């Protein structure tokens, strides 16, 4: 549990994927790998008709990349491999034949915004503020960028990516299309997540797969695109600027 984990269970045809890390649900390589593999597995599970993707706890949805792992990257190969973890999660969501409902109970940072963008229907609490902080540490949100921009458009994505130190509210994310519903508390979030899941599990699986494919039309090149973006990020993370910025962030936390 100290290294984080991903769990999967099916209850009445609803598959629930839940990730956890003690550092505000951050996503180190091991958790990213487990998460992408679990999404692929759930997509093939005949017991599950619809999926829910969530993180543990009641506060932070996902703190994004693990700073400890970022500062340990020593070469471009290792850097690319780390960022490919996010690429694989996004592509696993994109290629999954089942609709994925996201449950975002709290703040989402960096890669966490990417995960929230990769689900098909996102339900959040009013505490689920978002921030793309990558530029502030010298990287830029290159891997998650296509998923975020697809949901909220170029202008709103530019605001998040450039204004990298400021939080945007859950209601801003709702207005821009990242979230589809925002509720006052997590009990209401959970009730609506299961309400929607219960509705969807009664619908035609073939129709839902076809609808998902239509909604993701135009992203067929993302396997290549996100790999290119991972390589770009893997180079940038080696800069002195990034190492100094991460050290400064860690000293304040």
Look at residue 128 and tell me whether its pLDDT is greater than 70: yes
194's tokens: 């299961």
Q: All domains of the chain, ordered by start, with CATH?
A: 5-185 (3.90.226.10)
- Residue 135 backbone dihedrals phi, psi, to 5 degrees: -65, -30
b/e per residue 21-55 (b: at least 16 CB within 10 A): beebbbbbbbbbbbbbebbbebbeeeebbbbbbbb
At 197-248, the pLDDT tens digits run 999 999 999 999 999 999 999 999 999 999 999 999 999 999 999 988 888 8
Neighbours of 252 (CB within 10 A): 5
3-state secondary structure of 181: strand
156's tokens: 């709103």
DSSP state of 62: B
Q: Which of 60, 53, 233 is nearest to 131 (CA)?
A: 60
- How many angstroms separate the CA atoms of 225 and 219, rounded? 9
Mean pLDDT over 77-102 rounds to 98
Contact 49, 86 (CB under 8 A): no
- How many angstroms separate the CA atoms of 71 and 144, rounded? 20
Q: What is the pLDDT of residue 251?
A: 73
Using a cut of 0.75, tell me whether the model's pTM lies above it.
yes
Q: pLDDT class for 68, splitting at 50, 70, 90? A: confident
With a CB cutoff of 8 Å and minimum separation 6, the contacts of 85 are 27, 29, 32, 33, 36
Mean pLDDT over 6-35 rounds to 97
What average pLDDT does the structure give for the chain? 96
- How many angstroms separate the CA atoms of 2 and 58, rounded? 18
Query: Quick one: the chain helix, strand, coil %, rounded to 5?
Result: 55, 15, 30
Q: What is the pLDDT of residue 42?
A: 98
Look at residue 253 and tell me whether its pLDDT is greater than 70: no
């Amino acid at each position: 549990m100290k290294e984080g984990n991903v769990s999967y269970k099916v209850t009445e045809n609803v598959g629930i994927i839940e990730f956890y890390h003690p550092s505000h649900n951050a996503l180190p390589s091991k958790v990213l790998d487990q998460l992408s593999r679990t999404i692929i597995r759930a997509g093939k599970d005949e017991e599950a008709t619809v999926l829910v993707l969530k993180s543990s706890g009641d506060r932070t949805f996902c703190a994004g990349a693990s700073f400890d792992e970022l500062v340990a990257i020593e070469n471009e190969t290792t850097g690319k491999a780390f960022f490919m973890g996010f690429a694989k999660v996004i592509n696993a969501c994109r290629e999954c034949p089942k609709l994925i409902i996201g449950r975002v109970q709290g703040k989402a940072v960096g890669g966490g915004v990417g995960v929230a963008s990769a689900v098909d229907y996102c339900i959040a609490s009013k505490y689920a503020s978002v921030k793309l902080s990558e530029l502030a540490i010298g990287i830029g949100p290159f891997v998650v960028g296509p998923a975020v921009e697809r949901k909220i458009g170029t202008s709103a994505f530019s605001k998040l990516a450039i204004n990298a130190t400021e939080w945007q509210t859950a209601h801003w994310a709702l207005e821009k299309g990242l979230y589809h519903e925002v509720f006052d508390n997590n009990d209401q979030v959970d009730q609506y997540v299961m309400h929607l899941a219960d509705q969807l599990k009664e619908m035609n699986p073939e129709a839902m797969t076809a609808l998902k494919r239509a909604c993701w039309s135009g992203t067929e090149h993302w396997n290549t695109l996100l790999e290119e973006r991972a390589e770009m990020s893997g180079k940038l993370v080696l800069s002195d600027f990034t190492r100094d910025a991460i050290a400064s962030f860690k000293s304040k936390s």
